Chain A
């Protein structure tokens, strides 16, 4: 079902040397520091390897979304920089697609499923006559063929999120930036989409930065898991996930390494939460998967 990919050696340094994304000494503050400005992210350093699936976990309000917006080029950091394939990020680019948690706000409600996917092709300057083939292929891949002429408001949450993913794939990005994309979905739909995104990423060797507050989701999906915590948020821990691919919703989650990682991440997050203001982590509003 899934192409063989990196065979669990994701933790080794990239042979080519240039990371897909290099986050260097990144800090973000709102308002002037002299005037009691709020620092959200504090000296973050991460190298995201080419083709890697990196998950970032942290509690709500820990600055995860801000970090992702910086990576997309939608937000300028107060300090530090992000290199994309060795070049500093100056602004947003089609190479870095962003997938929002709130699909209902990220889709164009007045366009059909087909029209929403076509938006990316229009951006790429693909003539209308040549769009249908690309759209049909993407919709088939995302299981949306029957919904082609429906409006987003007519679809379930899981289907709407698939439309958003299809639209992002249509822009042919080098990196997928995903902001708690499955956080609003029910457990069954979420697991199905987890496997789909793993398969998509493996097929195209796409680099993925995936933000979640669900520990198990992070371990299940990631080659590595970065834990951010504290206020202002820093990288608390970087964990190499030594679980074989392809991952499986049953066997992977029963693997002793999976459970050990879960144990460790849970302790880390609760420790950093009590330092903050309690109560998110694994007992999130989505209840985790376990």
Chain B
């Protein structure tokens, strides 16, 4: 029990030490507070702006963009991954094109997206979906293409059609890969949410920190960063929770 408590407390102590060092550095005034605020100031601004409600709108905007962009990427990625992973024909057809597009940095697509969609949420979602689709797509292709051949045989003997095979056998079989891909995609979705907000002044945390930097309000900038980190942390943990539930069978072993 004591060991357990220590194992839980040590990481917390480490984080608090880092914040303490940060406070110490700021107190030494080596760097002007205009560029480098103390954690006390950053957290004070965070608290104040959460209390007066001015940060909630930004947090909501960023969260929604991240989640919807990620959902778009996930749905498209799984469907495309199933098509490619379970059929030689679609793989041969689509693979060369996808392999050509994949190395393209998602941020390089932003100008194109702006030309078509303007400085809008639609533009942001398109860019997020474009960048976040790859991890879930590749993981899905792998998952669907490595279904045990015994299971394909079982499916054929039982007379399952393509739809039933995908639904009852292939999708659950690929799920561990898919969920791993979903997690990586979510991290990319958050990055691109922030980038597109900065690029096109969409109301969100990305724009907030960009604007705070330009107006030399460093405490606001750091408050935004802290909130962004908390958002990413929470989202990742939600997926881990989903994973543990959906893949319960993997953790139950003799």
Contacts and interface: CB of A to CB of B under 8 A. Distances in A.
Contact of A94 (B153, B157, B249, B253): B157
Contacts of B247: 110
A92 B249 contact: no
A108 B172 contact: yes
A98 B157 contact: yes
Interface string B129-149: 000000000000000000010
Nearest to A177: B157
Contacts of B249: 109-111, 151, 153
A106 B150 contact: yes
Contact of B150 (A97, A105, A153, A154): A105
Interface stretch (A17-25, A119-127, A227-235): A119-127
Given A110-B175, A153-B254, A154-B253, A92 B150 contact: no
A268 to B, nearest CB: 31
Contacts, number: 68
A92 B156 CA distance: 6
A96 interface: yes
B157 A93 contact: yes
B21 interface: no
A228 B252 CA distance: 42
Interface string B142-167: 00000010110110111110000000
Given A106-B150, A119-B168, A171 B254 contact: no
B235 interface: no
B72 interface: no
Sort chain A's interface into a size bin: 20 to 34
Contacts of A100: 150, 153
Interface in A73-91: 73-74, 91
A100 B148 CA distance: 12
Interface in A50-81: 69, 72-74
A108 B169 contact: yes
A196 B55 CA distance: 69
A216 B89 CA distance: 47
| Majority secondary structure, B binding face | helix
Interface in A133-167: 150-151, 153-156
A223 to B, nearest CB: 24
Contacts of A110: 172-173, 175, 247, 249
A69 B157 CA distance: 11
A92 B159 contact: yes
Contacts of A151: 249, 252
Contacts of A73: 157
Contacts of A93: 157, 159
28 contacts: A69-B153, A74-B156, A74-B157, A91-B156, A94-B158, A96-B157, A97-B157, A98-B154, A105-B150, A105-B151, A106-B148, A109-B250, A110-B175, A110-B249, A111-B172, A111-B249, A119-B168, A120-B158, A123-B158, A150-B252, A151-B252, A153-B252, A153-B253, A153-B254, A154-B252, A154-B254, A171-B157, A171-B158
Interface of A: 69, 72-74, 91-94, 96-98, 100, 102, 105-106, 108-111, 119-120, 122-123, 150-151, 153-156, 171
Interface of B: 148, 150-151, 153-154, 156-160, 168-169, 172-173, 175, 247, 249-250, 252-254
Given A98-B153, A106-B154, A150-B252, 19 more contacts: A92-B156, A93-B157, A94-B159, A96-B157, A97-B157, A98-B154, A100-B150, A105-B151, A108-B172, A109-B249, A110-B172, A111-B172, A119-B154, A119-B168, A120-B158, A123-B158, A151-B252, A153-B252, A153-B253
